Amino acid sequence: MKTKEFISKGRKEDSARRLTSIEGQIRGIKKMIQDGRPCVEILTQIAAAQEGLKGVGKIIMRNYLENCATTAIRSRAGESIYDELMDVIYKFAR
């Protein structure tokens, strides 16, 4: 029996590509700190990495809303899905 994929192939590939880029940014930030680069340069790179993570979060959030949450709502999963939705949206909006 085939297991259900929760994240589409295209979104997995896009997320993986973005995360690989973010990994490189993080390694670069670590090197900048070790090399004693100016704080403002380091902070700029940290901001860029955070934006990259937000981008991946948007991809996963859209997938969650289109697939997981929609399926749960259609199956009448009850109030728990709305509580879960509110929790996810609140965490992501911080």
Both structure tokens of 11: 């979104």
pLDDT in tens, 66-83: 888 888 888 876 678 888
Q: Cβ distance 25 to 52 under 8 Å?
A: yes
Instruction: Give the end-to-end CA distance of the chain in Å, rounded to a whole number.
Output: 39
Tell how far CA 84 is from the center of its chain: 17
pTM above 0.85, yes or no: no
- Per CATH, which fold does 12-93 belong to? Methane Monooxygenase Hydroxylase; Chain G, domain 1 (1.20.58)
Calculate what percentage of the chain has a pLDDT beyond 70.
Answer: 93
**Residue type for position 47:** A
Round to whole Å and give the CA distance between 50 and 54: 6
Mean pLDDT value across residues 42-54: 97
Q: Where are the domains of the chain?
A: 12-93
